[in-house]
Amino acid sequence: MPDEVHTSTWKDGIFLKIINIVVFFLFLGSNIYSVAGPGDVYRNAKETYITPAYWTFGIWSLIHLLLIGFLIWQFTDSGKAIIIDGVAWRFPLLALLNAIYISVWARGHYIWAFILALFVSSSVSHIYYVVKRHHSGAGAGSEVFVHLPFSLWHGWTTVLIFLTAFEAFGRNAYTHRAGVWTKIFVFLTLFILEATSAAYAFSSPEGDLAGSIAITWSLFGIYAHQRRPDGSGFVSTTSLIFACLSAFWVLKSLYGLFAHKREGRGVLHDEERAPLVGH
C-alpha cells in the first residue's frame, strides 16, 4: 500500500499556539496598563534629550494589530510551518521579556529596564534572523503577519535601547541643560540610528522597508518633541537632519521592494512565454 500522506490540521502544535495567544495578551496588557493606568508613563517618563513625542509610542499599536494576524495565521498550514516549526518558542520568550521590560520601565527602574531591553533586543533579533534567513519569500501571509511585525519590532527595540540608556544613565532634560558630552552622546545615538536605517535599506536587494520606517518614525518623533521652546536647538536640528537622511533610506527600500516585485513578475512572464518543447 502506498504511504499515507499526512495533512496537518489546526490542532497540530495546539499547545504552543495556545501559549502564543496567552503571552500575547500578557504583552498587550502590559502596554495597555502603561497608557491607561495611573500615571500614563509614556507621557510622564524621565525626560531625556532623545525622548520622542508621545505619539511615537503608537507604533506599539501597529505591532499589536499585526500580531493578532500572526496569531490567527498560525492556524493555517503555511503559518504553522513558519510560526510553530520555525519561530517556535522564541515568540513566547520575546513576549514575556517585553512584558517584563515594560512593567519595570513603567515603574521607573531604568537601569534594570535597560538590561531587559538588551535581552528583548537579543530575542527579537533571533526571530528576525530566523524569519529573514529561512522563511523569506513564503507568500503574502508571511510578509504581512511575520516579516512586517518583527521588522517593526526589531527597529523599534533598537530605539528603545538608546532611549532606556539615556533614562538610566543620563540627566533629566528638564533640570539640566545639555552640556558638551550630552550633545556628543546624542549626536552619536542619532547617527547610529540613522546608520541602522541605512543598514536595513541595504540588508537585501529589496531592503527592509519596515525596519527603516520604525527608525525614521522614531527620529521624527524625537525631533517633534525636542523642538519645544525649552528644548535644545542642537538636538532638535540634529535629529531633524538625521530623520531626513533616514527618510531617504525608506525611499531606497521602497524602490528596492518595487524593483524586486517587478523583476519577479518579469521572470514569471518569461517562463510563461518559453516554448514547451525545445528545438
Q: Identify which has the larger pLDDT, 27 or 192.
A: 192
Percent of the chain with pLDDT over 70: 86
Mean pLDDT of the chain: 86
**Once rounded to an integer, what is the mean pLDDT over residues 204-225?**
93
Instruction: Report the alpha-carbon distance of residue 128 to residue 208 in Å, rounded.
Output: 11
pLDDT at residue 274 is higher than 50: no
**Which H or E run includes 21?**
helix 14-36
Identify the pLDDT of residue 277.
46
**Once rounded to an integer, what is the mean pLDDT over residues 160-178?**
91
Instruction: Report the alpha-carbon distance of residue 203 to residue 207 in Å, rounded.
Output: 5
The C-alpha angle with vertex 227 and arms to 224 and 231, in degrees rounded to 5, equals 130
Identify the pLDDT of residue 29.
84
Q: Are 134 and 86 in contact (CB under 8 A)?
A: yes
Of how many residues is the chain composed?
279
Q: Identify which has the larger pLDDT, 224 or 228.
A: 224
Digit-coded pLDDT (tens) for 94-149: 999 999 999 899 888 999 999 999 999 999 999 999 988 876 666 777 788 899 99
Backbone angles phi, psi at 137, to 5 degrees: 70, 35
Say which DSSP state 54 is in: G
Q: Are 121 and 73 in contact (CB under 8 A)?
A: no
Identify the pLDDT of residue 10.
67
Identify the pLDDT of residue 70.
93
Percent of the chain with pLDDT over 90: 58
